[in-house]
Amino acid sequence: MRVAIAHGELGAWDGSSRYIVDVAELFARHGHQVSLLCRRCARELPAGLRVQRPDELAAGQRFDLLYGSDLELLPELAPRAARFFYAPLDVLAACPERERWALQHCQRLLRFTRGAVTLLERAYDLPLRAKSLVAVYVSRAYEQLPEPTLQRPSPPELLWIGRLIPSKNVAFLIRAAARLQAPSWRLVIAGDGPERPALQALAQRLGLAGRVQFLGHEPDLSARLARACLLLTASRREHYSLTLMEAAAHGVPCIGLAPDGDMVINACDEQIIHGRTGYLIADEGDMSRRIDELLCHEPRRAVMAHRAWERKRDAFTLDGFWDALQAGLSRRDAPAADV
């Protein structure tokens, strides 16, 4: 099968680019001919994969399947493909008109959670359930990790990973950290972005300059996760967190801001089992109380850590994602508008 995978830019560090490359490698490993179409690539690709610019396509070049999220490329490429799978990577696209077009014209809508499908149905008033495919992606980089040791360095590290942008709500975590009663801890911010100066200033104002560590881009996230006591997240707008799954693979419990369907739209309630693999929280005070609880009760944290690792090992694999994708390819297509 000739497969075109469309993604505007492949970054060096971001999880969405890692996902796209993993999907391309999956198709190639199963014998399909893959064209990885993007305008710019800043990351090293596995052997056998190469990037092709969309403007380099031959005039009559066609594909059996178009798979992707880039709403600038998809309308141009869809007429070349027999089937079109829309796999958005944002909660809702910045350009609603283009996303509505993609939802109406695709044969499959791929989302990582059922809640994300429901959100799109409500936002666009479209019936999407029949064409939706829910499959949980896990990076191959975290597939074969052994059962982690539960020992962690001192002081305990509270970890956040991602890009420092407003929707990630990192200021929430810094303010919650300022309320902690536990005597020993460090908040580690792994990532960079435009919010970094303001967040550093906030930590300084709250007297946390010596407690909050800004790492910038972290090339070895696996090593950093292996040190973490807890992973924290307070994203207000995120349809799925790869980092939560990667933390579970390292036996790291997660404490995350629960979605409310209005101001907070994320998948924490589907990715964290409250009270078993971590905690869902409602506000900064709740976050600080749950952190204190697990910092002060190591046996409880260790039990959650083991449960998180077991759940990831037993329920979520890249091969499982591929099997779900294959099932979607085999299903009879739902009706789509003419491209």
pLDDT tens sequence across 88-147: 988 788 899 999 999 999 999 999 988 889 889 999 999 999 999 998 888 877 776 778
**pLDDT tens per residue, range 185-241:** 999 999 999 999 999 999 999 999 999 999 998 888 889 999 999 999 999 988 788
C-alpha span between 224 and 210 (Å, rounded): 19
Residues 222-237: tens digit of each pLDDT: 899 999 999 999 999 8
Let me know: does 79 contact 90? Beta carbons within 8 Å: no
CA atoms within 13 A on the CB side of 306: 8
List Cα–Cα distances, 326 to 20, 200, 319, 331, in angstroms. 16, 46, 10, 9
Give the mean model confidence (pLDDT) for residues 294-310. Answer: 95
pLDDT at 191: 94
Same CATH fold, 144-315 and 2-141+318-330?
yes
pLDDT of residue 15: 75
- Provide the β-strand partners of residue 257: 281
- Of the pLDDT bands very low, low, confident and very high (cuts 50, 70, 90), residue 11 is confident
User: CA–CA separation, 214 vs 160, rounded Å?
Assistant: 10
Q: Average model confidence (pLDDT) for the chain?
A: 91
- If one compares 116 and 286, the residue with the highest pLDDT of the two is 286
The CA–CA distances, whole Å, from 323 to 180, 248, 317 equal: 44, 22, 10
- The tokens for 108 are 């499959």
Q: Predicted confidence band at 13 (pLDDT cuts at 50, 70, 90)?
A: low
Report residue 328's pLDDT band, with 50, 70 and 90 as the boundaries. Answer: confident
Task: Determine the average pLDDT of the residues in 69-82.
Answer: 93
- Three-state DSSP class for 65? strand
pLDDT of 339 reads: 47
> Is residue 177's pLDDT more than 50?
yes
Fold of the domain spanning 144-315? Rossmann fold (3.40.50)
Whole-number pLDDT of residue 335: 56
Give long-range contacts, CB 8 A cutoff, 24+ apart: 113-122: 113/239, 113/240, 113/267, 113/270, 113/271, 114/270, 115/259, 115/267, 115/269, 115/270, 116/91, 116/239, 116/240, 116/267, 119/91, 119/92, 119/239, 119/265, 120/88, 120/92
Query: Domain locations in the chain?
Result: 2-141+318-330, 144-315
Q: Which CATH architecture has domain 2-141+318-330?
A: 3-Layer(aba) Sandwich (3.40)
